[in-house]
């Protein structure tokens, strides 16, 4: 499958058992926005994270595919 790119400024973290640990260094007072290809995985991840974080957790519904369909131009992911 071809890469779609990412939202500019996003920090790519794979949804895994270590997700919260991998996310921890980036947490501050800002909300945590989650985005995947279609929004399905991040919807589930958001529900699992909410009880463990003080920050608001936002799932970008429809994922990067929805954003692209609305005209957003993703940037290449250098770390992917």
| C-beta atoms surrounding 46 within 10 Å | 19
Portion of the chain with pLDDT greater than 90, in percent: 86
Residue keyed to tokens 């970008």: 60
Domain count, the chain: 1
Whole-number average pLDDT of the chain = 92
CA distance 49 to 69: 28
Answer whether 0.75 is exceeded by the pTM.
yes
Query: Cβ neighbours of residue 31 under 8 Å, at least 6 residues apart?
Result: 55, 56, 57, 58
Share of the chain above pLDDT 70, in %: 96
Under DSSP, the state recorded for 31 is P
pLDDT the model gives residue 1: 42
Residues 6-37: pLDDT tens digits? 999 999 999 899 999 999 999 999 999 999 99
CATH code: domain of residue 41: 3.40.250
Domain region containing 8: 1-80
Per-residue pLDDT at 11: 94
């Amino acid at each position: 499958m071809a890469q779609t790119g990412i939202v500019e400024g996003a920090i790519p973290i794979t949804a895994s058992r270590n997700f919260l640990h991998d996310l921890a260094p980036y947490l501050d007072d800002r909300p945590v926005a989650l985005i995947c290809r279609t929004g399905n995985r991040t919807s589930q991840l958001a529900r699992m994270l909410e009880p463990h974080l003080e920050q608001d957790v936002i799932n970008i519904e429809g994922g990067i595919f929805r954003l692209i369909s609305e005209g957003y131009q993703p940037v290449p992911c250098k770390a992917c």
